[in-house]
Structure 1
């Protein structure tokens, strides 16, 4: 999908549920980290935190006590509608949600102490500009080989055919060009098991893993074959592949 189609997709999904997948029953091998736990480890109570691509805001609302002010941005109108509904329900006074493109951050220079970005594009140059001296940036992204058996079964999918580590290397290069230092990267690829066909269908309808899932003739027949071939005692087998980058900028961009 191109950028326009992605925005349309996230607008529709955002209005429905944001990034709330709590109803999906899935078990997985132990991941070596939890992204927002890593974020909170690096926050002080006086910090200002920016979350890029915040979706329905569920994640930063869950860590609202970790910083003085948390700002979540997303370019999707639908996601922001859900985020602000979630904010109203939460009663949190130190969280704000703003519709904004991550490539053009509408904040003063050096404004945030911590910036996080999970499963969303970002501009390394813009992150560096609004990050304070000594501030820290953390991002977790979906790796190319995520849900690989699903994408191979459908013959299409997000980053199918792209060599592994391509996106990670692109981001590492961009962060280096933006003069980030002390850059570390981590990755994992673990098995996960969806408990029912309905759980897997919810995933495919609410993420862009298989673009246009359900709109192509034969998609549900393909899914039935996939389930039959990958049914295990623990559930329907696929994989979760992620990488995380943690970077600090010692000097600030003027």
Structure 2
């Protein structure tokens, strides 16, 4: 999908579901960290936290006690509709959501102590601009070959066919050029087991893992064959490959 198609996709998903996958019945083996736990461990009660690509704000709302003020931004109007609806239900007084492009962070220089970004694009120069000196930036991204057996079955997919390490190297280089003094890199490749056909359909309809999934009847035939070939006692097997960068300004 091109940039416009991604935007339209996220707007639609944002209005319908936000970034809430709590309904999925899935078990993971080999996950080495919880990203937002890593974020909260680097926050003090007096800190200001910015979350880039916050989606429907579900995870930010769950860590509201970790900082004095938490701000979530997303470029998608659909996601922001859901985030603000979730905020109103939660009655959390120290969280704000704004529709904003990661390429142009409209905050004063040195405003935030911690910036986080999970599975979303960020601009290293903009992150550096809004962080205090010695501030921390944490990002978790989808690594090469995530859901690899699914992408092979469909012959297409998010980052499918790219050379190993392109995204990692791009981000590490950009952070260095933006003035971050230190960056640690981590990765894992975990097994995932989805309980039912419906769980996989929900995942594929609400993420860009397989672009335009469901627009062709053939997609459901491919998915059925994939399930038959990857069914185990634990569930329908695929993989979750992630990397995390923790950088200090």
Return the TM-score normalized by structure 1. Answer: 0.97
1:58-85 C-alpha deviation (Å, 9 max, x unpaired) = 0110000000000000000000000000
Q: SS of the residue aligned with 2:240?
A: strand
1:137-179 C-alpha deviation (Å, 9 max, x unpaired) = 0000001210000000000000110122110110000000001
1:191-210 C-alpha deviation (Å, 9 max, x unpaired) = 10000000000000000000
What pairs up with 1:133-172 in 2 under 5 angstroms? Answer: 133-172=133-172
1:199 correspondence with 2:194: no
1:80 alignment partner in structure 2 = 80
Offset, 1:182: 1.6
Deviation >4 Å, runs of 4+: none
1: CA distance between counterparts of 2:187 and 2:244?
6
1:178 alignment partner in structure 2 = 178
2: CA distance between counterparts of 1:239 and 1:82?
28
2:110 alignment partner in structure 1 = 110
> Considering only aligned residues, what root-mean-square deviation do their CA atoms show, in Å?
0.6
2:236 alignment partner in structure 1 = 236
Runs (5+) with no aligned partner, structure 1 = 250-254
2: CA distance between counterparts of 1:4 and 1:111?
31
Q: SS of the residue aligned with 2:214?
A: coil
1:101 correspondence with 2:86: no
2:62 alignment partner in structure 1 = 62
2: CA distance between counterparts of 1:128 and 1:98?
19
Runs (5+) with no aligned partner, structure 2 = none
1: CA distance between counterparts of 2:163 and 2:189?
15
Offset, 1:30: 3.6
2: CA distance between counterparts of 1:78 and 1:219?
26
What pairs up with 1:18-57 in 2 under 5 angstroms? Answer: 18-57=18-57
